[in-house]
Amino acid sequence: MLYIDGQWTHSQSGEQLEVTNPATGEVIEKVAKGGAGDSKLAIEAADRSFSDWKKLAAKERGAYLVKTAEILRGKADELAELVTKEMGKPLKESKGEVNLAIDYLDWYAEEAKRVYGETIPASHPSKRLHVFKEPVGVTAAVTPWNFPVAMITRKIAPALAAGCPVVVKPASSTPLSAIKVFEAFHEAGLPKGVANLLIGSASKVVGEMMSSPKVKKITFTGSTEVGKKLIRDSADTVKKVSMELGGHAPFIVFEDADLDLAVDSVIGSKFRNAGQTCICTNRIYVQESIAEEFSKRFVDKVQALAIGNGLADGVEIGPLIDEGAVEKVEEQIQDAQEKGAVVLCGGKRTQVNGQQGGSFFEPTVLGQATDDMVITREETFGPVAPIYTFSTEEEAIERANHPQYGLAAYAFTKDLSRSYRLMEGLEYGIIGLNDPIPTTAQAPFGGMKESGTGREGGRQGIEEYLEDKFVSIGNI
Ligand code: NAP
């Protein structure tokens, strides 16, 4: 069902969308598939709700977020199971994602109260200069499948906190967890029109959002390719834009690093969500003197990772989202092998319990990776870890910086001076120093270069939904 103007509704066309479990290939649910007409209705409802919503006291807007968070906390296990069923990640990771999603609601319920304006000293005694913060207006939010709950609350929570109504389109492969989030908003009594859910054709639903002059802001998380298209589409109506796009994270291990910590950390960073996260490690750079020992310890641990249906106990690697994702991984491995890489473990698609239908791929380590390989430049979005070696710190930083992407980078070292050189030399929006999991609700998340523009999370996240209105008062 779609959620428009406070009501659950079928799509105007009556068309439906099938949702598939990537671990089994089975259709688990059919949901309404919306189009341009549904999108228009949702935008109009959001627009009607704007004047009342922005006038509510920030504390009252925050209270709706707190209530929604409470409801979701009560349904966290059910929601986590749904995430695993529709996109495959291990249940433990789905629980982690649901907690993070709730954190964004709680955080922005508080941040709503801290939208401070400014008073600027004037150059003339008879003048007063003020900056007021105002909500941008109706916000369109388009989200991916790899974090189907957290990517939604990371956008809705700051938008609503700032006073902006939203129209949301989740990925077509993961609409079920989005529906659960909206059920919670409904149960929390959110005024009608303030949050609307559109599931369906990306070109029609998002096309309507992009062409509508009523939509003042587009916030998108997804591939760089689609993000660039939306930036172009937003030009005609000059929308405010936030883009959380692709990444290609380097993970640098220096010879002075705690090797056990580095190995455990890269396992988490690379293989979480079967390698399908925007900030997951895409390239591992290891200093020559420790490369052999690192590879040995790493491969031993990768070989021990349990593959399977994410709902089963102990599973650490679930399926990839679909057959296309498996093929992309196969192509990158084949290209790397042709250019001299050696498969140290894994390397092929696999089945679980002899079952047909799931899109599983073995966690894979490639040795002797080189800079001319496709995997060195293109986002993998799968469980493949290429290892490169380097000799000096300068070389590591230079090769770690990517010409196109600048989302996340990781470095492991115990040297404080080197740590500062890394923080300053790495051209990335997020840096994990001896930390493989930097994401948290209270910190800004986002990329440089073609990894995007704008930030989500932290006090910075709410600014994306606010305008500065400058008022100059004369003749005082
Ligand atoms: P995607 O193909 O770009 O899709 C993302 C969203 O855009 C989906 O809702 C999709 O709808 C919609 N979409 C697709 N084509 C569109 C079009 N032509 N016009 C308008 N909307 C369109 O990305 P994905 O495969 O879902 O997600 C993986 C990508 O997201 C990776 O590149 C990853 O790095 C990136 N990501 C970035 C972050 C970050 O914070 N920087 C976080 C997570 C993921 P349909 O599903 O209906 O096609």
| DSSP for 141-163, written as a single string | EE--SSSTTHHHHHHHHHHHHHT
> Which are the contacts of 412, defined by CB distance < 8 A and separation ≥ 6?
251, 252, 253, 254, 257, 258, 261, 262, 265, 433, 434
Give the active site residues: 244, 278
Would the CB of 172 count as within 6 Å of ligand 1?
Answer: yes
Would the CB of 169 count as within 6 Å of ligand 1?
Answer: yes
The token duo for 349 is 């698609």
The average pLDDT across 165-192 equals 98
Q: Can you tell me which residue has the tokens 């492969």?
A: 173
Q: Which atom of ligand 1 is nearest to the CA of 147?
A: 43
Give the whole-number percent of the chain exceeding pLDDT 70. 100
The token duo for 413 is 């070292």
Q: Is 360 helix (H, G, I), strand (E, B) or coil?
A: strand
- The continuous run of DSSP H or E covering 36 comes out as helix 36-55
Distance from the alpha carbon of residue 145 to the mean position of ligand 1, in angstroms:
7
Give the whole-number percent of the chain exceeding pLDDT 90. 99
The token duo for 293 is 């020992």
Asked whether residue 355 carries a pLDDT value surpassing 80, the answer given is no
Least confident of 89-98, 211-220, 292-301, 346-355: 346-355
Would the CB of 454 count as within 6 Å of ligand 1?
Answer: no
Ligand 1 mutation pick, 233, 245, 380, max ligand atoms within 8 A of CB: 245
Distance from the alpha carbon of residue 279 to the mean position of ligand 1, in angstroms:
14
Angle at 427 between CA 440 and CA 369, to 5 degrees: 100
In terms of pTM, does the model score above 0.95? yes
Q: Which domains, from first to last, does the chain contain?
A: 2-245+450-473 (3.40.605.10), 249-440 (3.40.309.10)
The predicted structure's pLDDT at residue 353: 78
The predicted structure's pLDDT at residue 378: 98
Of the candidates 414, 395, 428, 438, the residue with the CA atom closest to the CA atom of residue 286 = 395
Q: Which atom of ligand 1 is nearest to the CA of 243?
A: 41
Q: Is 62 helix (H, G, I), strand (E, B) or coil?
A: helix
Nearest CA to ligand 1 atom 9: 171
- CA end-to-end span of the chain, whole Å? 57
- One-letter amino acid of 315: V
Q: Is 375 helix (H, G, I), strand (E, B) or coil?
A: helix
> Which are the contacts of 19, defined by CB distance < 8 A and separation ≥ 6?
27, 28, 29, 30, 31, 86, 173, 174, 175, 176
Q: Which atom of ligand 1 is nearest to the CA of 407?
A: 41
Would the CB of 452 count as within 6 Å of ligand 1?
Answer: yes
Distance CA 23, CA 12 (A): 32
Asked whether residue 133 carries a pLDDT value surpassing 90, the answer given is yes
Distance of CA 184 to the CA centre of its chain: 21
The average pLDDT across 163-191 equals 98
Of the candidates 447, 476, 448, 442, the residue with the CA atom closest to the CA atom of residue 462 = 442
The predicted structure's pLDDT at residue 209: 98
Longest dimension (CA), the chain: 82
The average pLDDT across 453-472 equals 98
Q: Which atom of ligand 1 is nearest to the CA of 226?
A: 3
The average pLDDT across 278-304 equals 98
Of the candidates 78, 263, 271, 88, the residue with the CA atom closest to the CA atom of residue 184 = 78
Q: How confident is the model at residue 333 (pLDDT cuts 50, 70, 90)?
A: very high
Q: How confident is the model at residue 372 (pLDDT cuts 50, 70, 90)?
A: very high
Would the CB of 203 count as within 6 Å of ligand 1?
Answer: yes
User: 261 — phi, psi (to 5°)?
Assistant: -60, -45
Q: Is 60 helix (H, G, I), strand (E, B) or coil?
A: helix
DSSP 279: T
The predicted structure's pLDDT at residue 354: 74
The token duo for 475 is 């003749």
Nearest CA to ligand 1 atom 14: 202
- Sheet of strand 128-135, all strands in order from the earlier edge strand to the far edge: 118-120, 128-135, 466-473
Asked whether residue 102 carries a pLDDT value surpassing 90, the answer given is yes
**Length of the chain, in residues:** 476
Distance CA 35, CA 202 (A): 8
Q: Is 351 helix (H, G, I), strand (E, B) or coil?
A: strand
The predicted structure's pLDDT at residue 138: 99
Question: What pLDDT digit, counting tens, does each position of 56-71 carry?
Answer: 999 999 999 999 999 9
Of the candidates 211, 281, 277, 218, the residue with the CA atom closest to the CA atom of residue 250 = 281
Contact of 280 with 249, CB cutoff 8 Å: yes
Question: What pLDDT digit, counting tens, does each position of 104-123 carry?
Answer: 999 999 999 999 999 999 99
The average pLDDT across 223-233 equals 98
Distance CA 79, CA 76 (A): 5
Would the CB of 376 count as within 6 Å of ligand 1?
Answer: no
Asked whether residue 325 carries a pLDDT value surpassing 90, the answer given is yes
CB atoms inside a 10 Å sphere around CB 37: 14
Distance from the alpha carbon of residue 223 to the mean position of ligand 1, in angstroms:
5
The predicted structure's pLDDT at residue 356: 79
Would the CB of 211 count as within 6 Å of ligand 1?
Answer: no
Would the CB of 41 count as within 6 Å of ligand 1?
Answer: no
- One-letter amino acid of 238: V
- One-letter amino acid of 330: E
Contact of 147 with 176, CB cutoff 8 Å: no
Ligand 1 mutation pick, 89, 172, 206, max ligand atoms within 8 A of CB: 206
Of the candidates 412, 401, 411, the residue with the CA atom closest to the CA atom of residue 449 = 401
The predicted structure's pLDDT at residue 56: 98
Q: Is 100 helix (H, G, I), strand (E, B) or coil?
A: helix
Beta strands in 368-473 (DSSP E): 384-390, 405-406, 408-412, 430-433, 448-449, 452-453, 466-473
Arithmetic mean of pLDDT over the chain: 98
Residues β-bridged to residue 128 = 473
Contact of 25 with 356, CB cutoff 8 Å: yes
Distance from the alpha carbon of residue 219 to the mean position of ligand 1, in angstroms:
12
Radius of gyration of the chain (CA): 23
Distance from the alpha carbon of residue 87 to the mean position of ligand 1, in angstroms:
14
Would the CB of 229 count as within 6 Å of ligand 1?
Answer: yes
Distance CA 324, CA 248 (A): 19
Residues β-bridged to residue 145 = none
Asked whether residue 207 carries a pLDDT value surpassing 80, the answer given is yes
